[in-house]
Each structure stands twice: as C-alpha cells, then as structure tokens.
Amino acid sequence: MATASAGNPLKEHPAAATAVLSVVGYAIVVGTFLGLVPGRIFPELTLEQVNRLSDAIAVVNTINVVVIAAGWRWIRHNEVRKHAAAMITSFLLILVFLVMYLTKIGGGGTKEFVGPAFAYYPYLAMLAIHIILSIVSVPVVLYALILGLTHSERELRTETPHRKIGRIAAGAWLLSLALGVVTYLLLNHVYGWEYTVSATGALVAPVVGV
C-alpha cells in the first residue's frame, strides 16, 4: 500500500492508533444498543424500511466476502496493487455496513428469531460466532489496515507483522461476514421473526413476521 512520510503518528504508533479507533467504534455501537446515543441522530424507521436496510446490509456483506476473497487471492499471487485496492474497498464496505446497521438499530429495532428448536440453536450458535468475530476482528482489521496504509511494500514484508495480522484479519472477517449472511437468510427468508422496536423507532409494539 501507500508509503507515509516520516513523522506520521499512525506509522510511528500503529498499535496506539488501533486502540483509540477501536474504543471509539465500540463506544458508538454499544451506545446505540443501550440507547445512549441521542435518538435524534437516527431517522425514525418503519418496519418496511428496517427490512430494506436488512436486505441492503446482506448485499453489502456478500459483496465484501467476494472482495476479501479476491484480495486474499491477489496477494497470494503477489499482485500487491490489486490486493491493496481490495482491502481498502473492503474497509469502506465495512463503514457502509456500520452506518446502515446503526441506523437500523438506532432508528428502527431488532428482529428475534422465531423457528423450530432444530434450527433455533444452530442459528444462535452461528449468530454468536458472527458477533464475537465481528467484535474481536475490529482491532485486528484496523491494525492491518493502518500498517498497510503507512508502510511501503518492502517495509510491510520485512519490518512489520502485516502478513500474519492480515491473514488473521481476513480469515476472521470472512467467516464473520459469511455467517452474518447465513443468519440473515434464516431469519428473514427461511423462518419467522419477531420485531421489537427501539426507543426511537416509529413503531409502538412488537410485530411478528414470517
């Protein structure tokens, strides 16, 4: 990826920058779930709008799976520029996902899985892995990205753990995104759901869907 000039604080302190950005990201997401983020930030969403956002999130995540897989393949074939473009694109897609996801949660609500036990427990297991991986992947992805953006190709290969960290980040994020898409399909298109509106949402009562 691009080479940064000397004295760049991101290049000199990538771990510290990763920690700060990770804490900010976690705070925004947790604050939205707990209702600590001011409701006026998010538009009030109808159930139909929440459903459309869920569909859009699934599309973005599916595209991101393809982008990450392509980036992984390109670096294995030493196509560094293509790999760099793919990883930057992947991070931008993550940001798009995050904006849509927080809007859906903050301005709408959440859906709870309603289905038979034989599907419910595998769904919960996949959802749990998806959530855990998405949480723990944040600092790993950020660290790999910061290294890639602030070091030359030679520096990345000889002076940083970018290759190892990038492999972990890509693998974890790929699995998290893939499981997210699978759970989306199970929740929205295979089995039923119960919708619970958030404090700032437009609806006033739970809704059951199939």
Band of pLDDT at residue 147, cut at 50, 70 and 90: very high
Measured between alpha carbons, how far is residue 198 from residues 23, 47, 124, 174 in Å?
24, 11, 21, 29
Q: Which structural domain, as residue segments, surrounds residue 175?
A: 9-209
pLDDT of residue 160: 93
Band of pLDDT at residue 198, cut at 50, 70 and 90: low
In a domain, 137, yes or no: yes
pLDDT of residue 39: 59
In a domain, 40, yes or no: yes
In a domain, 1, yes or no: no
What region, left, alpha or beta, does residue 78 occupy, with left being phi > 0 and alpha being psi -120 to 50 degrees? left
In a domain, 71, yes or no: yes
Residue count of the chain: 210
pLDDT of residue 199: 53
Structure-token pair, residue 195: 């919708």
Reported pTM = 0.85
Give the mean pLDDT of 164-169. Answer: 94
Give the mean pLDDT of 88-107. Answer: 93
Question: Considering its fold, how many domains does the chain have in total?
Answer: 1
Q: Is the pLDDT assigned to residue 209 strictly greater than 60? A: no
pLDDT of residue 6: 53
Give percent of the chain above pLDDT 90: 69
In a domain, 142, yes or no: yes
Band of pLDDT at residue 122, cut at 50, 70 and 90: very high
CA 197/CA 137 separation, integer angstroms: 28
Q: Which residues of 82-92 are buried (b: 16+ CB within 10 A; e: fewer)?
A: ebbbbbbbbbe
Q: Where residue 191 sits, what CATH number does that domain have? A: 1.20.120
Sorted by sequence, the CB contacts under 8 Å of residue 161 that are 6+ apart come out as 147
**CB-based burial label for 116 (10 Å; 0-12, 13-18, 19+):** exposed
* Contact yes or no for 103/43 (Cβ under 8 A): yes
In a domain, 4, yes or no: no
Q: Is the pLDDT assigned to residue 200 strictly greater than 80? A: no
* Contact yes or no for 192/210 (Cβ under 8 A): yes
Q: Is the pLDDT assigned to residue 76 strictly greater than 50? A: yes
In a domain, 2, yes or no: no
Structure-token pair, residue 158: 């000889």
